[in-house]
């Protein structure tokens, strides 16, 4: 019985240490998405620049595309913006913006001042479509294939390494150029 009293705390410590070791080995930027391998959520949103024009998910089927979720109040979005401009220019794949929980005028001024890399920016002032995509916060970036299947989700600002190692190879593969 005395042995059990000695071994039980040791066993509990070993289990806790094992969970801690696994947790410390995880990348905090990698937030798993249940959407990977599944169809992108259905949406129908007005364009930021032309509220009378609506863009639907089904309008984008048949092409590989990138969805970049951003807001004018988001400091990391400003940080990643030059990389989004470069991605849109170099990749040959349309990049769409999802303006998340923002003010239309502030968002328009932000794009006018920093440059507009987006084929179109979808305006989601209440964040409903963002929630459907499982957005935790901005910025987030998704790669969606021709069939409308989400193939990648990146949480946080894009970096040159993320673009070079994950996004661009996937875009080349999905576009049949790699």
141 vs 158: CA distance, rounded Å = 8
In three-state form (DSSP H/G/I as H, E/B as E, the rest C), the secondary structure along 59-80 is HHCCCCEEEEEECCCCHHHHHH
pTM: 0.83
Q: Tell me: the pLDDT tens digits for 76-131?
A: 999 999 999 999 999 999 999 999 999 999 999 999 999 999 999 999 999 999 99
Strand 121-124, strand 95-100: pairing: parallel
Q: Tell me: the pLDDT tens digits for 10-67?
A: 556 666 655 555 545 544 545 567 789 999 999 999 999 999 999 999 999 999 999 9
Residue of higher predicted confidence among 3 and 160: 160
Q: Tell me: the pLDDT tens digits for 141-172?
A: 999 999 999 999 999 999 999 999 999 999 99
Query: Which has the closest alpha carbon to 105: 172, 31, 51, 69?
Result: 51
CA atoms within 13 A on the CB side of 56: 3
Q: What structural domains and CATH numbers belong to the chain?
A: 29-175 (3.40.30.10)
């Amino acid at each position: 019985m005395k042995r059990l009293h000695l071994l039980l705390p040791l066993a509990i410590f070993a289990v806790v240490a094992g969970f801690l070791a696994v947790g410390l080995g995880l990348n905090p930027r990698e937030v798993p998405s249940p959407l990977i391998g599944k169809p992108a959520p259905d949406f129908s949103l007005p364009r930021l620049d032309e509220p009378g024009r609506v863009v639907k998910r089904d309008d984008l089927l048949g092409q590989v595309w990138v969805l970049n979720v951003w807001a004018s109040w988001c400091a990391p979005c400003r940080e990643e913006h030059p990389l989004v401009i470069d991605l849109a220019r170099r990749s040959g794949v349309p990049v769409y913006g999802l303006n998340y929980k923002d003010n239309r005028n502030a968002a328009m001024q932000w794009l006018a001042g920093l440059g507009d890399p987006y084929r179109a920016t979808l305006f989601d002032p209440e964040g409903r479509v963002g929630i459907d995509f499982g957005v935790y916060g901005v910025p987030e970036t998704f790669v969606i294939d021709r069939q409308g299947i989400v193939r990648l989700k990146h949480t946080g600002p894009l970096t040159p390494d993320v673009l070079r190692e994950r996004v661009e190879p996937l875009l080349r593969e999905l576009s049949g150029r790699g």
